[in-house]
Amino acid sequence: MPYDPNRHHRRSIRLKGYDYTQPGAYFITIVTYERMPLFGEIVNGEMRLNEYGQMVRDEWFQTAVVRPYVVLHPDEFVVMPNHVHGIIWIVDTNADGGDDVGARRRRAPTAEQFGKPIPGSIPTIVRSFKSMTTRRINLLRNAPGTPVWQRNYYDRIIRHERALNAIRQYIIENPRRWQMDRENQARTAPDPLAQAIWNMLKQEEADHPPGGER
């Protein structure tokens, strides 16, 4: 596809003014370039990873190994044929207690700006994940410089247990709902669960604008 400056203009779709280094839970979706099914296939409602898909899964959980302020859980991540869904927990390593949805770091907020990455932020974590998986996959397929992912990604801040449980359910059931997945170019119908979660998160975002009480 030729470059179109109107279609391919790079811009940040992060929530303006929000501090993406704050402890809490973040729902992340990353889609492959042109929605290519690179990572395997769905068979009888189960995802069967190929070698690329296994690399993606391995790199996701490696994130928590190299970043002590990140916690990842196996039931909060799924690799699909052309995208991944996952929940990233950023925890306050200086605080006591467990991982609480909506926990806040005791410092001044730091809003990430496009082109100015901040160490420890969600954009920086995702950027590193995409870079590592792209490098490994392209090395295996002998295709240096070939894009693996779309340039941006989708994120939503999870602020309460109801949303967290709904998103966990969606992630676990995602392979069984592939025929309704918005990233499936042959989907047969919209997914009511996905729409309900989207509406819930959009309402929360409207109720908790950046700079206000979270």
**How many Å is the Cα radius of gyration of the chain?**
17
Q: Is the per-residue pLDDT at 18 higher than 90? A: no
Sequence-distant (≥ 6) Cβ neighbours of residue 28 within 8 angstroms: 84, 85, 86, 87, 88, 122, 126, 153, 154, 155
Q: What are phi and psi of 27, to 5 degrees?
A: -90, 120
Residues 6+ apart with CB under 8 A from 129: 30, 59, 60, 63
The model's pTM: 0.80
Pick the CATH number of 24-207 from 3.40.190.10, 3.40.50.2000, 2.60.40.420, 3.30.70.1290: 3.30.70.1290
Q: Which amino acid is at 122?
A: I
H or E element that contains 180: none
Q: Which of 77-86, 88-97, 156-165, 182-191 has the highest mean pLDDT?
A: 77-86
What is the spatial distance between Cα 208 and Cα 201, in angstroms, rounded to a whole number? Answer: 10
pLDDT of residue 120: 86
Best CA proximity match to 29, nearest among 3, 60, 8, 50: 60
pLDDT one-digit tens code per residue, 88-146? 999 987 655 444 554 433 233 344 454 566 778 999 999 999 999 999 999 999 999 99
Q: What is the pLDDT of residue 12?
A: 34
- Distances from the Cα of 83 to the Cαs of 32, 86, 95, 187, 210, in angstroms? 6, 10, 34, 15, 28
Provide mean pLDDT across the span 57-71: 97
Helix axes 51-66, 122-140, angle to 10 degrees: 140
Domain edges within the chain: 24-207
For 46, residues 6+ apart whose C-beta sits below 8 A from its C-beta are 175
Task: Identify the residue whose tokens are 């303006």.
Answer: 16
The pLDDT value given to residue 72: 97
Share of the chain above pLDDT 70, in %: 77
